Amino acid sequence: MSQSSRYFPQQGRSKDSLLQEMKALKEKDMNWQDGRIFSLVFSAGDEVLELLKEAHALFMSENGLNPGAFPSLRKFETEVLAMAAELLHGDAEVVGNMTSGGTESILMAVKTAREQALSLRPEIKNPEIVLPVTAHPAFDKACHYFGLSAVHIPVKADFRADLEAYRRAIGPNTVLCVGSAPSYPQGVVDPIAEMAAIAQEKGLLFHVDACVGGFMLPFVRKLGYAVPDFDFAVPGVTSISADLHKYAYAAKGASVVLYRNAALRRHQFFVYTDWPGGIYPSPTMVGTRPGGSIAAAWAVMKHLGEEGYLRIAREVMNTTRHMIDVIRAMDDLTVLSHPEMSIFAIGSDSLDIYAVGDEMSVLGWHMDRQQSPPSLHVTVNFAHVQSQDRFLQDLEQAVAKARKLSWNKVSSKFSVGLVKGLSKVLPEKLFSRLVTASNSSGPKGGQVPKRTAAMYGMIGSLPNRGDVEEMVLDFMDQTYRVERDPG
Ligand SMILES: *Cc1c(COP(=O)(O)O)cnc(C)c1O
């Protein structure tokens, strides 16, 4: 570095001083350990956390790209896959890979379907996938990356896929059909058996997105709750994604994608044979594969075992059912669906639910805002067992505040109109700055915005979704700008 470098430090700093700064920064992040945050962090308590840290650190430098060099990682990965396949009723034919997360697992399943279609049905020029509107955006991302089209089908009043619409949406270009177990927004399981049977009847692949449910639903069922068949026990299911870094309580960067057989998975692989650097085989999207996440996933699964996961699932389910009962009994609030497991959405017919969300933010809770219909999202995990009572008390208080401040509704309606008008007359840049100013961070992560009801109301009511996309893209430019004036 030249003497004039401004950002790249000329001289190194001590470990102590750096760690001190980093710990101070961490203090200002959302504290997930006390169960005030939903969906972003899954915690199984301190003992598991310590195990994860040690297992992760032990293999932090190892690279899963070359299993020949690290037989330890190969053992961990294959054993994780064997455990996952068994849990999801896969037979001895089922194969899969570990990936960096649900998105990568889904990207791989869509890419596999596209490649299979390319080889078996080369007449298809514009491959499509059919999926419910509630399916995770990772499928839309996969279509965006790999040149497919997503055909979205509606859900019924219970938020489960509409079978009639599903059947109608399947056409000559369809290469893959998708159902969720459960879907993220309202936490309900699609009619997987019926959907997979239709796909099978038409000779199509069927993917179950069990990213969030794959390591929870099997235990929920074992506890005696009603869970419909959703995995390889259903004949037409050809692939499944299930995230280890969610309800398997693994360290971040761990998921599995499983296939009915090796012939199907073959379409997932990539090999380049002409590189001067040697023959290059790569099973999934990434090149270098962090050994730490593979090792930590293996460790937590072996540590908890069925008994441990059942114990945690029991508490999580008791907490969920209690929360849902209390919320249903509250004036002005509803729970939108009847979820099979521990994910639900809170809505309201009489209040601005985003205003309730704002009051919850003020009280220190991080809840995702959802649209169509407007709601607040709850993913209950083990960390919420201890925070449930405080959550319910605070929710009661937030509702009371939102009720009192019903003039807010008027003012937020007013600002919706105002912003809508402004968006038509103001230059784009200025408008985006205004919106950014009302919410100084990304929708997930960064500092937590306190009052956003007006913004969400406004965004939800903009008729042109292209405008919304532009706004969000501007917003991303801002969020991911290079920090040249560190505060
Ligand atoms: C979390 C989730 C995903 C995406 O997983 P990432 O690990 O965030 O990439 C996909 N589908 C569902 C249902 C999910 O809950």
Residues in the ligand 1 pocket, defined by CB under 6 Å: 101-103, 106, 136, 138, 180, 184, 209, 211-212, 243, 255
The rounded Å distance from CA 15 to ligand 1 centre is 35
State the DSSP H helix or E strand holding residue 309, giving kind and residue range, or none if neither: helix 291-329
From CA 143, how far away is CA 128, in angstroms rounded?
8
What's the confidence (pLDDT) of residue 439?
A: 43
Work out which ligand 1 atom sits closest to the CA atom of 212.
15
**The whole model's pTM is what?**
0.90
Q: Ligand 1 centre and the CA of 401: distance in Å?
A: 33
Ligand 1 binding pocket mutation candidate from 136, 255, 379, 444 (most atoms within 8 A of CB): 136
Tokens encoding 14 = 């001590």
Nearest Cα neighbor of 70 from 307, 397, 261, 289 is 289
Question: So what's the pLDDT on residue 76?
Answer: 97
- What's the CA gap between 341 and 225, in Å, rounded? 9
Pocket test for ligand 1, best of 98, 160, 188, 212 (most atoms within 8 A of CB): 212
Specify the length of the chain in residues: 487
- Residue 229 has a CB neighbour count (10 Å cut-off) of 16
- Cα distances (angstroms) measured from residue 402 to each of 279, 332, 354, 461: 62, 10, 9, 20
Structure tokens at 106: 């889904």
pLDDT at residue number 3: 60
DSSP string across 53-108: HHHHHHTTT-BTT-TTT-HHHHHHHHHHHHHHHHHTT--TT-EEEEESSHHHHHHH
Tell me how far the alpha carbon of residue 136 lies from the centroid of ligand 1, in angstroms. 7
| Beta carbons within 8 Å of 73's beta carbon, 6+ residues apart | 59, 62, 64, 67, 289, 291, 294, 295
Ligand 1 mutation target, pool 103, 105, 342, most atoms within 8 A of CB: 103
pLDDT of residue 482: 84
Ligand 1 center–CA 176 separation, angstroms: 18
What pLDDT score was predicted for residue 417? Answer: 52
Residue 460, class by beta-carbon neighbours within 10 Å (0-12 exposed, 13-18 middle, 19+ buried)?
Answer: middle
On whether the CB atoms of residues 130 and 168 are closer than 8 A, the answer is no
Ligand 1 atom with least separation from CA of 245: 7
For 384, residues 6+ apart whose C-beta sits below 8 A from its C-beta are 35, 38, 316, 319, 391
| Amino acid 352: pLDDT | 92
Q: Are 347 and 375 in contact (CB under 8 A)?
A: yes
Q: Any idea what the Cα angle at residue 448 is, between residues 447 and 453, rounded to 5°? A: 140
The pLDDT value given to residue 404: 84
The answer to whether 332 and 350 are in contact (CB under 8 A) is: yes
Alpha helices in 88-162 (DSSP H): 102-120, 138-146
Q: For residues 238 and 96, what is the distance between their CA atoms, to the nearest angstrom?
A: 11
The rounded Å distance from CA 118 to ligand 1 centre is 27
pLDDT digits (tens), the chain, 487 positions: 456 788 899 999 999 999 999 999 999 888 888 888 887 888 889 999 999 999 999 999 988 888 789 999 999 999 999 999 999 999 999 999 999 999 999 999 999 999 999 999 999 999 999 999 999 999 999 999 999 999 999 999 999 999 999 999 999 999 999 999 999 999 999 999 999 999 999 999 999 999 999 999 999 999 999 999 999 999 999 999 999 999 999 999 999 999 999 999 999 999 999 999 999 999 999 999 999 999 999 999 999 999 999 999 999 999 999 999 999 999 999 999 999 999 999 999 999 999 999 999 999 998 999 988 999 999 999 989 999 999 999 999 999 999 987 654 545 555 555 555 555 444 455 555 555 544 444 444 444 445 677 677 767 767 777 888 888 888 888 888 887 776 5
Ligand 1: distance of its center to the CA of 183 in Å?
Answer: 9
Distance 62 CA to ligand 1 centre (A): 26
